[in-house]
Each structure stands twice: as structure tokens, then as C-alpha cells.
Homo-oligomer: A and B are copies of this chain.
Amino acid sequence: MNLKIRLLTYGALLFFSTTIFANDPLPSWNDGNAKQTIIHFVSTTTQQNSKNYVAENKRIAVFDNDGTLWVEHPIYVQFAFALDRIKVLAPEHPEWKSQQPFKAIIENDVNKLAHLNESEIYQIVMITHAGITSDAFNEIVRNWLKTAQHPRFKVAYTKLVYQPMIELMDYLRANGFKTFIVSGGGVEFMRTFTEQSYDVPPWQVIGSTIKLAYQEQKGKHVLMRLPHMEFIDDKSGKPIAIETDIGIRPIAAFGNSDGDYQMLAWTSEGTGPKLAMIVHHTDAQREYKYDRDTMVGKLDKALDAAKTHGWVLINMKEDWKHIWKD
């Protein structure tokens, strides 16, 4: 090869690789089955001449939050908020010093806290999430998120969102998809950070809800949070919430536990092309490693179904170049 041809060839290669790099919509993903599946799905559903083309107003993608978009170990972030909040409220409740489950929280009795029963958890959640207006609650959560730190990573929880999933959401939106969060988490809790963290507007965040009462206070109205659940957006609640709040069956769904099983099934049973993926926590070093049975939920039914239903696993250790948001 003479010099001129070599230079041209190198130039072309350089141009080519630069173009590839500039166009990579998922730079934090390693090449592999998960990334290829996503890119293939988006390409074929958005090209007008593709037999799998989907009209833009039907391109709905739904995402679980805890464990799918941000960290959920060692405990759900919202439960960490509740525990911290009990400590803040404790001085007003001297009786808690000798009353469970509050005693365990105040004394940081890890052993007892690891074995709270459902009714104790419910009690903790209601005391910390109700009896206050929506506006006041939202302000408390916003302030807590500014200062609270993850026990292992020692950074704010909002730093512990998954960069690859943010790129995935951006990529979908750039291709005409609407992205929704459909999570068991409290809807108002999530909305304090979801717009900034994921670029998802509040009305595209669907979650569990507490009963609200419209009440008058000093001549103005408030929305008072009552100590009763209105709707639990988990398991079968997810397809129900999707129908009620979105009104269109999704063509793409992303989850990480059995709480997402019904949402993944509802999506993948639809007609036409669809994509159902499970974030599989396989990285003990950079994040956590767990699946079938963990403190915060199971991944059992959904893992088995993945094989029979063609759901694609995202192997955190292998598929993700980076884990945390830049």
C-alpha cells in the first residue's frame, strides 16, 4: 500500500469509528445481547418501512423504579426515609422509647429491624407518610434527599441511579417513545426527584398512593394525607394502573423483581412487537448481587418466565460498562 492509500484508509477508518462512537446511543452498555436487543427493537419499531413499525402515539415504555432505575439495597430508599423520619419525630413521642417497632429504630437495633413484620412496616410507613399535607410532605422528602446518604456508598441516593438506564430512557424518547415510571413506591415520594433524575415529568410517574382529603385550613384548601393506602401499584396493580393512568398497553417494559411480573406479562402478551427486560443484579462489587430471594423482594416467577416468554435479562456485571449516573 502506498502512503496516500494508507492515509486515506486510516482516515476512513478514523471517520468511521468516530461516527460509530458519536452515534452510540448507549455508551455505558457493553456490546452484547441486551444492548443489541434494545437497538434492534428501537430500530425496527421506528422505521416506517419496517413490518414491525409502531405509530409514535403507541410507543409506550414503562419502568419499575426500585432496583430497575436506582439502588434498592440494603433497603428500599423510601423505607430508609421512613426510618430516618421516625428518629426526627421521636422527641415528640417519648413513649416510643419503650414501644416496638419504634424502640428498635431509635436504638438502631439491626437484628430487630431485619425482622419487622408487615403490620410493623405498615405502621412505620403511615406514621411517617400521613397526617400532614401533600405540600409539607413533599418538602420534607426533598430536604431529606439532599442530606441522606446511602450506608455503603456514602453518597446521596440520587447519585445511585443507573446511568445505562438513563441512556436507555433518553434513547427511547429520542425515538418517539413516551417513558413512564410504574413503581410500587409512593408516587409523591418519587416525584420529588424523578424529573431531575430521569427527565420524566410528574404526570408520567405512577406509583402507590395514600388516601388524600381535600380540606380547608385557615380559609385555604390543602390536601391532607390520611393514614390509609388508596392503591398499591405492585404485582397485579401494575397492569391495572397502566390501564387507568396511561390508557395504552406498553410495548416495552423494564423491571427487576416478581413485583414486575404482571407488568412484563401484560406488555409481552400484547399484539405486535414488544420488549420485556429484567435488570439482573449480578455485580456484588460495583452494586449488589441478588436474585431469587432477597430482603426487599423476590425475583423468582419472573426469572422463570423470562425463559418461556422471551424476556431478556440485563446482566449488570456483564452488560454495564458504568453503573452510576455520571
B-contacting residues of A (Cβ < 8 Å)?
57, 134, 178, 180, 187-188, 191, 195, 201-205, 209, 212-214, 220-221, 223, 230, 236, 239-240, 243-248, 262, 265-266, 269
Contacts and interface: CB of A to CB of B under 8 A. Distances in A.
A262 B214 contact: yes
Ranked nearest first, the 7 interchain pairs of A and B with the lowest CB-CB distance are: A202-B247, A214-B236, A203-B246, A212-B240, A191-B247, A214-B239, A223-B243
20 contacts: A57-B195, A178-B203, A180-B203, A188-B243, A191-B247, A203-B245, A209-B244, A212-B240, A212-B243, A214-B236, A214-B239, A214-B240, A214-B262, A220-B269, A221-B265, A221-B266, A223-B239, A223-B240, A223-B243, A230-B244
Contacts of A191: 247
A247 to B, nearest CB: 3
Contacts of A205: 247
Oligomeric state, in copies: 2
Given A203-B204, A212-B240, 6 more contacts: A178-B201, A188-B243, A203-B248, A214-B239, A220-B269, A223-B240
Contacts of A239: 214, 221, 223
Nearest to A195: B57
Nearest to A188: B247
A168 to B, nearest CB: 20
B221 A187 contact: no
Nearest to A192: B247
Contacts of A178: 201, 203
B265 A187 contact: no
A187 B246 CA distance: 10
A134 B236 CA distance: 15
Contacts of A209: 244
Contacts of A201: 57, 178
A179 to B, nearest CB: 11
A320 to B, nearest CB: 30
Contacts of A269: 220-221
A245 B245 contact: yes
A242 to B, nearest CB: 9
A214 B235 CA distance: 10
